[in-house]
Chains A and B, each alone.
Chain A
Amino acid sequence: MVETYQRRTALAHLGLVGRAAAGKGGAGVVMSEAGHRTIINIRGNAQDPAFAAAVKSATGVDLPAKANTVAGTGARQILWLGPNEWWVTGADGEADALVEALRGAFTGQHATACDVSESRAVLSLKGPKTREVLARGVSLDLHPKVFGIGQCAQTGLSRCNVLLHQVGEGPHFEIYVLKSFSDYLWRWLEQIAGDFDLGIEA
């Protein structure tokens, strides 16, 4: 394989590293592009204990019990997408092994795994004004009483389809978006965030 330095993230062309260096502290919202990560789309019957067990054995994580929630911690998480669809995340480079493990565990079931790691860019927004920024483009109620840490939702943000995941305090959100839209979405968010003391991290 070629050197990994030949690899580019979706927003590499924006030169965020240089811009981050020039950044200031005390920002209302801090934007960054998360690095490469593994995302495996899995499909199966959530009501089937064999499927749940297979997922657990291959990933080490139980399927999230509720809609719009995320199970697991760190790199290995399972995000709820729909009644028979989830994303299993992992560290960069785990995709092939994870797909193989999942397909192996699914043997004899109607359940599938499909690598979609490379299709998404992940934008990170954090800081006290993050909800204000997101409210410009998300019609969901993101009030902490309604949407908290560990919750996720597929929805529209600006004119893009995204998966929104509150990963931490601050609040801190991760936004999964198709790479082709990421340049548009970043610029759009950046323009909005300009009114809320924007900081950039690399």
Chain B
Amino acid sequence: MSNQANRLGTGGRIDRSKPLRFTFDGKSYYGYQGDTLASALLANGVVLVGRSFKYHRPRGILSAGAEEPNALIQLGTGNRTEPNLRATQIELYDGLVAESQNRWPSLANDMGAVNSLFHRLFPSGFYYKTFMWPKSFWMKYELIIRRMAGLGKSPTEPDPDRYDKLYAHCDALVVGSGPAGLAAALAAGRAGARVILVDEQQEFGGSLLHDRQAVIDGKPAADWVASAVAELAAMPEVTLLPRTVAFAYYDHNAVSCMERVTDHLAPNSPDFAKQPRQRLWRIRAKDIILATGAIERPLVYLDNDRPGCMLASAAQTFVNRYGAMPGKRAVVMTNNDSAYRAALDLADAGVAVPAIVDLREDPQGELVAAAKQRGIDVLAGHAVTRVSGKLAVSGVEVMRLSPDAKAVNGPARSISCDLVMSSSGWQPTVHLFSQSRGKLRWEPGILAFVPDKQLPGQNSHSVGAAAGIFNTDACLADGHAAGAMAANAAGCTGSSGDAPTASSEPAAGDLRAVWYVPSSAPVGRQGKHFIDYQNDVTAADVMLAHREGYRSVEHLKRYTTMGMATDQGKTSNVNALALMAELRGVSVPEVGTTTFRPPYTPVTIGAFSGIDKGDFLDPIRKTPLHSWHEQHGAPFETVGQWHRAWYYPKPGESMHDAVNREVKAVRTSVGIVDASTLGKIDIQGPDAAWFLNMVYTNAWSKLEPGKCRYGLMLGEDGMVMDDGVTSRISENHFHMTTTTGGAARVMAWLEDWLQCEWLDKKVYLTSVTEQWAVIGVSGPLASKLMAEVAPELPLDDATFPHLSFRDGVVAGVNSRIYRITFTGEATYEINVAPSYAMHVWRALMQAGEKYGITPYGTEAMHVLRAEKGFIIVGQETDGTTTPQDLGMDWIVSKQKPDFLGKRSLQRSDTGRPDRKHLVGLLTDNPNEVLPEGAQIVAELKDKPPMEMIGHVTSSYWSPNCGRSIAMALVKNGRNRHGETVYMPYDGKVVRAKIGAPKFLD
């Protein structure tokens, strides 16, 4: 397309035969396949792309990669819109819709920029100083601040895309595919290692993709990259993951990566819907080769944030890789040699480069000579002191730098330009290494932190530029050695071959540390020296923090918010640290380093959840009878992960109606309940009875085989933990039941004691919760029904009494029938194999029809047990409740020498008279059903505070009592029977009388 004014005619890795249309702030543009949004905007001459966070300063594109702090974009529309994406990482696709952020009404004319006029009101620590007083106002301030500070907009609709996540394992995870990473992957892969190579970009090659000079193994860099990638792709044990960012390095060599599977495709393209949008890789690697490269630092000069101010290497990347000119006339400011290469590449591409402003007094070397030879004015010992232009750079002012670099002097020279390229040297990308909790070391030769000591248990090797090595040939050798070593350590015996070699490069000259480029105006006046672009932190802010006594980098960070934006200070941390060091007169490492934390770049929540949302958020455990309950219209109650039938409404019935009908049926005819979820533990061994004596409060030795007993289980703190009925199958064989919710906890608890404390005791436990489905048949007609379905079973109370069990055949199925009750009515708990449960249930329903058999759910079960005053552990108890509190002294053995919790029951606190006791509550108004959890007061006052003496634990409408009933834990409640208490809630006060926790005999 012809209207891309700043697009070069040739060169770059874009496909000029594939034009792509996109819009930015509603205006249409064209770019090419292979562009990023940033390169396409620049090719169209668009340099103003956003407004800054705090001051709403106009901002352009600073970088060409993940470090971008300025060009944050709202991408997409409707439910696919996503805020704060870096334009430098957004791959262009046809129909892409992008919007700038943090501006109103428009990017060029933004009302919020008024903040800039009041910048004196927004110094470091502004929030702390201003809004913390008065304290109660913070909430109000926060709302307003958040509205003003917000960058992009969140979508309001659910995410329509799907996500994938998986685990992966390898011998060597190689992060980054520049020269060092590719060489490492090749060396490891050739030796036969399992390799995963990830790179955040769409193409492998890293810096080689914009390197026009390097010749590797006799090939131009780009050709070598292509052949290396082809060789890797042919290796069966090598996984290549482009568009994949390694964002987190956790303990024990675990790295999480996010693959952008379809983000580069238009949502309406056919390939988009075929795959998940993004994929989270959770990789455990024996060795992690960090070939993450380095990030160039900008110089800190006056108004260094004007659109058109750019990292030198970024401008080079846009020209070489994307064929996009970020400007027509560039001034370069640098403290090192690498920017000369960038300047020369731009000049080669036809960009005018009137001057290189070098902060060094006397730069020498091949590149400097080459620049001079090209007619570029090399202004040694000079500095850019001013940038003109507001919405775009229009020129710079250059002055002589004093020998100590603290001031500028002499006449100012104006140079017109639309691009200012700066370089303050390179900081190795140590984020992942730092996340692994490795220590960094300051390397004065390159003025940068490099990886140093690693935590034991982590095994990474930083190679190439990530380790401070900037020579391509050395990077190749370094990567190769690390790859070979990783393969060797993993036991691979193949040959890694020779390391690739690169053509020689000009030796790099020394850097000059100038962390603050002075201007003729005092700091903070007539403009700003930005350090952290994304959070709008300036050199003046760092100086203020220093004056106010902040020393540590962690304090500096939190006080100024430096490095705390989503870019985590990729371009700003070292500049801020070094400036602080200079102010304090100490070395950089004495100020410290900042600790990088995951994620390296932001990750969508969708990728973390994968498919585990909605129905898959958490497992739903279903009983063998689940589909019957479903077919009969039962809503389900969630108990732990179980879904239990709650009640079975008939057509037109409310929940209240259904529960009343079910409760009455159990008291008058017969009900049937699915109790399969009860926890069940098989206990075998010669010490089984001893074991039960230890874990329950009551005595078990004399329980006869064939008999059952209720037991209460305490923690060592004496508090009730679980309850259930346990049966003796034979001398050394018991069958324990637990509550539904407590099953797993009890099993772990019992195993803990057996495995950790009582190692000499001979007891084995097996969870048999799901070996048995449990169907409860309860009510005055239950035995009649049983007689029909289990004709051979003796049903008279003498031969088959309450609290015993029998093996027998029910509806033709071998079963074990327990006579235990939770309703207070005669009950048969039929235990059958789950595969036959449906058959038995249906047979019971059919045979019971003439008796009016009524399926009942958990709600009716709760009402039934409450009418009889049976507790539910976890409802009447809360972890601070003893058996005595529940009035269950009768179940605590006085004879047994020991059981878990015994000693704690003798603590003075456990005997306190004002402990909360379980009581019954009858409201004065019988129709008032108290809310569970309602607080109880003895002395009613006009308004709070009132002394709360307890709370309601269970509360129901009891159709059999014809009134509401409730249980409660009340201080000294056992001695308060007959007293009236009050429950103020919902703007009213309900009166009730305390009594015994039993409502029906």
Q: Do chains A and B touch in the complex (CB under 8 A)?
A: yes
Tell me if A112 and B764 are in contact (CB < 8 A): yes
Tell me if B768 and A10 are in contact (CB < 8 A): no
| Given the contacts A8-B624, A136-B610, A114 and B615 also touching, CB distance less than 8 Å | no
Which positions 598-630 of chain B face chain A at CB distance < 8 Å?
Answer: 610-612, 615-616, 618-624, 626-627
| Stretch in contact with the other chain, from B132-140, B163-171, B263-271 | B163-171
Tell me if A118 and B833 are in contact (CB < 8 A): yes
Which positions 183-201 of chain A face chain B at CB distance < 8 Å?
Answer: 183-185, 187-188, 191-192, 195
Tell me if B766 and A191 are in contact (CB < 8 A): no
Which positions 278-322 of chain B face chain A at CB distance < 8 Å?
Answer: 282, 284
- Residues in A neighbouring B835, C-beta threshold 8 A: 7-10, 36, 118
Is there a chain A Cβ closer than 8 Å to B811's Cβ? Answer: yes
Tell me if A118 and B611 are in contact (CB < 8 A): no
| Given the contacts A119-B768, A135-B168, A184-B619, A6 and B839 also touching, CB distance less than 8 Å | yes
Which positions 30-79 of chain A face chain B at CB distance < 8 Å?
Answer: 36, 41, 43
- Residues in B neighbouring A110, C-beta threshold 8 A: 685-686, 762, 764
In angstroms, Cα B272 to Cα A193, docked, is: 18
Is there a chain A Cβ closer than 8 Å to B750's Cβ? Answer: no
Nearest opposing residue in chain B for A140, CB measure: B167
Question: What per-residue 1/0 map shows which CB atoms of A104-146 lie under 8 Å from chain B?
Answer: 0000001010111111100000000000100110111101001
| Given the contacts A8-B624, A116-B766, A180-B770, A159 and B618 also touching, CB distance less than 8 Å | yes
Mostly helix, strand, loop or mixed at chain A's interface?
mixed
Contact with A112, one of B616, B627, B684 (Cβ below 8 angstroms): B684
In angstroms, Cα B499 to Cα A70, docked, is: 45
Is there a chain A Cβ closer than 8 Å to B113's Cβ? Answer: no
Tell me if A7 and B616 are in contact (CB < 8 A): no
- Residues in A neighbouring B769, C-beta threshold 8 A: 119, 178
Contact with A6, one of B619, B621, B627, B836 (Cβ below 8 angstroms): B836
Tell me if B642 and A180 are in contact (CB < 8 A): yes
Q: How many pairs, one residue from A and one from B, have CB atoms within 8 Å of each other in the complex? A: 120
Is there a chain B Cβ closer than 8 Å to A97's Cβ? Answer: no
Tell me if A112 and B685 are in contact (CB < 8 A): yes
| Given the contacts A136-B610, A159-B612, A178-B770, A43 and B764 also touching, CB distance less than 8 Å | yes
- B861–chain A nearest beta-carbon distance, Å: 19
- Residues in B neighbouring A119, C-beta threshold 8 A: 767-771, 834
Which positions 820-840 of chain B face chain A at CB distance < 8 Å?
Answer: 833-836, 838-839
| Given the contacts A7-B835, A160-B619, A187-B615, A114 and B167 also touching, CB distance less than 8 Å | no
In angstroms, Cα B839 to Cα A102, docked, is: 30
- Residues in B neighbouring A41, C-beta threshold 8 A: 766
| Given the contacts A136-B610, A192-B611, A180 and B622 also touching, CB distance less than 8 Å | yes
Tell me if B619 and A159 are in contact (CB < 8 A): yes
Tell me if B166 and A116 are in contact (CB < 8 A): no
Nearest opposing residue in chain B for A135, CB measure: B166
Is there a chain A Cβ closer than 8 Å to B813's Cβ? Answer: yes
In angstroms, Cα B383 to Cα A133, docked, is: 59
Tell me if B621 and A180 are in contact (CB < 8 A): yes
Tell me if A188 and B616 are in contact (CB < 8 A): yes
Number of interface residues of B (CB under 8 A): 50
Contact with B624, one of A10, A117, A158, A184 (Cβ below 8 angstroms): A10
Is there a chain A Cβ closer than 8 Å to B880's Cβ? Answer: no
- Residues in A neighbouring B834, C-beta threshold 8 A: 10, 118-119, 179
- B426–chain A nearest beta-carbon distance, Å: 37
- Residues in A neighbouring B284, C-beta threshold 8 A: 139, 141
Tell me if A114 and B611 are in contact (CB < 8 A): no
- A191–chain B nearest beta-carbon distance, Å: 6
Tell me if A2 and B611 are in contact (CB < 8 A): no
Contact with B839, one of A7, A114, A141 (Cβ below 8 angstroms): A7
- Residues in A neighbouring B275, C-beta threshold 8 A: 195
Which positions 153-190 of chain A face chain B at CB distance < 8 Å?
Answer: 158-160, 178-181, 183-185, 187-188
- Residues in B neighbouring A159, C-beta threshold 8 A: 612, 618-619
In angstroms, Cα B376 to Cα A183, docked, is: 73
Is there a chain A Cβ closer than 8 Å to B682's Cβ? Answer: yes
Tell me if B620 and A184 are in contact (CB < 8 A): yes
In angstroms, Cα B592 to Cα A177, docked, is: 52
In angstroms, Cα B840 to Cα A126, docked, is: 35
Listed residue (A9, A158, A179) with the most chain B CB atoms within 10 angstroms of its CB: A179
- A50–chain B nearest beta-carbon distance, Å: 15
- Residues in A neighbouring B155, C-beta threshold 8 A: none
- Residues in A neighbouring B165, C-beta threshold 8 A: 136
Nearest opposing residue in chain B for A118, CB measure: B833
Tell me if B770 and A179 are in contact (CB < 8 A): yes
- Residues in A neighbouring B623, C-beta threshold 8 A: 180
- Residues in A neighbouring B282, C-beta threshold 8 A: 139
- B382–chain A nearest beta-carbon distance, Å: 58
Tell me if A8 and B838 are in contact (CB < 8 A): yes
- Residues in A neighbouring B642, C-beta threshold 8 A: 180
Which positions 180-195 of chain B face chain A at CB distance < 8 Å?
Answer: 194
| Given the contacts A8-B835, A160-B619, A118 and B762 also touching, CB distance less than 8 Å | no
Is there a chain B Cβ closer than 8 Å to A22's Cβ? Answer: no
In angstroms, Cα B685 to Cα A34, docked, is: 33
Is there a chain B Cβ closer than 8 Å to A21's Cβ? Answer: no
Is there a chain A Cβ closer than 8 Å to B814's Cβ? Answer: yes
| Given the contacts A1-B814, A8-B624, A118 and B770 also touching, CB distance less than 8 Å | yes
In angstroms, Cα B791 to Cα A130, docked, is: 50
| Given the contacts A10-B624, A135-B166, A2 and B836 also touching, CB distance less than 8 Å | yes
- B273–chain A nearest beta-carbon distance, Å: 12
- Residues in B neighbouring A181, C-beta threshold 8 A: 619, 621
In angstroms, Cα B627 to Cα A139, docked, is: 32
Question: What per-residue 1/0 map shows which CB atoms of B144-175 lie under 8 Å from chain A?
Answer: 00000000000000000000111111000000
Is there a chain A Cβ closer than 8 Å to B812's Cβ? Answer: yes
- A13–chain B nearest beta-carbon distance, Å: 4
Contact with A191, one of B616, B618, B811, B836 (Cβ below 8 angstroms): B616
Tell me if B167 and A135 are in contact (CB < 8 A): yes
In angstroms, Cα B823 to Cα A38, docked, is: 35
In angstroms, Cα B769 to Cα A132, docked, is: 32
- B599–chain A nearest beta-carbon distance, Å: 20
In angstroms, Cα B626 to Cα A18, docked, is: 21
Listed residue (A6, A117, A135, A185) with the most chain B CB atoms within 10 angstroms of its CB: A6
Nearest opposing residue in chain A for B761, CB measure: A110
- A160–chain B nearest beta-carbon distance, Å: 6
- Residues in A neighbouring B276, C-beta threshold 8 A: 195
In angstroms, Cα B276 to Cα A180, docked, is: 29
Tell me if A114 and B768 are in contact (CB < 8 A): yes
In angstroms, Cα B324 to Cα A159, docked, is: 49
- B511–chain A nearest beta-carbon distance, Å: 45
Tell me if A141 and B684 are in contact (CB < 8 A): no
- A169–chain B nearest beta-carbon distance, Å: 17
In angstroms, Cα B940 to Cα A141, docked, is: 65
- A63–chain B nearest beta-carbon distance, Å: 16
Tell me if A2 and B619 are in contact (CB < 8 A): no
Nearest opposing residue in chain A for B611, CB measure: A191
- Residues in B neighbouring A158, C-beta threshold 8 A: 612, 616, 619
- B747–chain A nearest beta-carbon distance, Å: 12
- B705–chain A nearest beta-carbon distance, Å: 15
- Residues in B neighbouring A139, C-beta threshold 8 A: 167, 282, 284
Tell me if A1 and B813 are in contact (CB < 8 A): yes
Tell me if B812 and A2 are in contact (CB < 8 A): yes
| Given the contacts A41-B766, A181-B621, A138 and B167 also touching, CB distance less than 8 Å | yes
| Given the contacts A7-B835, A135-B167, A188 and B766 also touching, CB distance less than 8 Å | no
> Could you list 19 A-B pairs, sorted by A, with CB under 8 Å?
A1-B812, A8-B835, A13-B626, A41-B766, A43-B684, A112-B684, A112-B685, A118-B833, A118-B834, A119-B769, A119-B770, A136-B164, A136-B166, A158-B612, A160-B619, A180-B622, A183-B626, A184-B622, A192-B611
Closest 10 CB pairs between A and B?
A: A2-B812, A180-B621, A119-B770, A141-B169, A43-B764, A6-B839, A112-B684, A184-B619, A114-B766, A110-B762
Interface set of A (CB-CB < 8 Å, partner B): 1-2, 6-10, 13, 36, 41, 43, 110, 112, 114-120, 132, 135-136, 138-141, 143, 146, 158-160, 178-181, 183-185, 187-188, 191-192, 195
